[in-house]
């Protein structure tokens, strides 16, 4: 009797407001390649994949993932290139010890130079307000006004950052982060910085066809104890699912 194959693990999904459909993407053979990456991380204790022995950047060590900073999500995507070859893409969530771009890893979706300029302009102003608030009598009129100013400045900061993200789907259509986001409420901090959006973005930009993707957590468990070392997880619900519907749109046609 032939044994039935277990259904593929879903890696990512989301509703696309443009076409009115729910799109999904599965792991395919990506877990095997995640295993290779895990072995590298365990043996080399670094993420700079091509560095020669003794030339590794200390900031790219995995030691911090097991300390106070806690762990991080990593993702691997298997793609077909136009020439018929296979490509393996890799991504880490967010920054790595304050570094956005690391050779051999999917880049962020925004222009890092512009991001750093916005950060350098607004972040010191927010810190100054915070220091002033601490030295001001709580619940006084001045304190309330300072709290309001800081909140306004923080919201403006988020709007400016979100405006840097342009999402492109597999139909070649482009949307701002605000236009693509389908969930109610505000856009969570870090939306667009997880592994899945980075990987799909790189695939689109390099004209690659994704065939499978898997994400795993590496390092000390997160503070909410929902992520554990070496375990696989689908793309997150709050930040990824609301934009992946748009980013996945058209992929089913490309794969066929």
| 187/206 same-domain check | yes
| 128/146 same-domain check | yes
| Residue 93 within a domain | yes
What is the overall mean pLDDT for the chain? 94
Among 148, 164, 180, give the residue marking a domain's end.
164
Q: What is the mean pLDDT of residues 52-58?
A: 83
Number of domains the chain contains: 2
Q: Is pLDDT of 6 > 70?
A: no
| 71/127 same-domain check | no
| 173/240 same-domain check | yes
- Confidence band, pLDDT 50/70/90 cuts, at residue 191: very high
What are the CA-CA distances from residue 174 to residues 98, 139, 204, 248 (Å)? 28, 45, 11, 12
Q: What is the mean pLDDT of residues 161-177?
A: 96
Among 129, 146, 164, give the residue marking a domain's end.
164
pLDDT value of residue 4: 45
Residues 204/218, Cβ–Cβ less than 8 Å: no
Q: What number of other Cβ atoms are within 10 A of residue 39's Cβ?
A: 10
Q: Is pLDDT of 8 > 70?
A: no
| Residue 141 within a domain | yes
Owning domain of residue 20? 10-108+167-255
| Residue 139 within a domain | yes
Q: What is the mean pLDDT of residues 136-144?
A: 95
- Helix (H), strand (E), coil (C) string for 136-168: CCCCCHHHHHHHHHHHHHHHHHHHHHHCCCEEE
Residues 29/35, Cβ–Cβ less than 8 Å: no
Among 125, 144, 164, give the residue marking a domain's end.
164
Q: What is the mean pLDDT of residues 99-110?
A: 97
Is this model's pTM higher than 0.85 or not? yes
Going by DSSP bridges, is the β-strand pair 72-80/86-92 parallel, antiparallel, or unpaired?
antiparallel
| 179/82 same-domain check | yes
27 exposed, middle or buried (CB, 10 Å; 0-12, 13-18, 19+)? buried
Q: Is pLDDT of 166 > 90?
A: yes
Q: Is pLDDT of 152 > 60?
A: yes
All residues at 6 or more sequence positions from 251 whose CB lies less than 8 Å from its CB, including other chains: 23, 25, 169, 170, 209, 210
Q: What is the largest distance, in Å, between two alpha-carbon atoms of the chain?
A: 78
């Amino acid at each position: 009797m032939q044994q039935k194959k277990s259904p593929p693990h879903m890696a990512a999904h989301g509703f696309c407001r443009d076409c009115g459909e729910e799109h999904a993407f599965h792991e395919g053979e990506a877990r095997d390649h995640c295993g290779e990456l895990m072995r590298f991380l365990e043996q080399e204790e670094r993420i700079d994949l091509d560095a020669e022995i003794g030339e590794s950047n200390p900031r790219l060590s995995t030691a911090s993932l097991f300390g106070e900073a806690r762990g991080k999500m990593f993702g691997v995507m298997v793609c077909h290139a136009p020439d018929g070859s296979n490509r393996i893409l890799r991504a880490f969530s967010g920054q790595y010890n304050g570094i956005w771009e690391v050779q051999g890893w999917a880049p962020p979706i925004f222009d890092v130079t512009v991001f750093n300029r916005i950060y350098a302009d607004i972040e010191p102003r927010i810190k100054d307000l915070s220091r002033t608030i601490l030295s001001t009598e709580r619940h006084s009129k001045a304190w309330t006004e300072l709290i309001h100013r800081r909140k306004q400045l923080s919201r403006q900061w988020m709007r400016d950052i979100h405006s840097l993200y342009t999402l492109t789907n597999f139909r070649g259509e482009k949307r701002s982060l605000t236009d693509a986001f389908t969930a109610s409420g505000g856009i969570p901090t870090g939306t667009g910085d997880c592994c899945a959006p980075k990987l799909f973005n790189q695939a689109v930009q390099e004209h690659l066809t994704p065939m499978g993707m898997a994400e795993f957590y590496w390092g000390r468990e997160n503070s909410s104890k929902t992520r554990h070392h070496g375990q696989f997880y689908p793309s997150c619900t709050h930040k990824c699912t609301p934009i992946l519907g748009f980013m996945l749109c058209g992929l089913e046609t490309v794969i066929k």
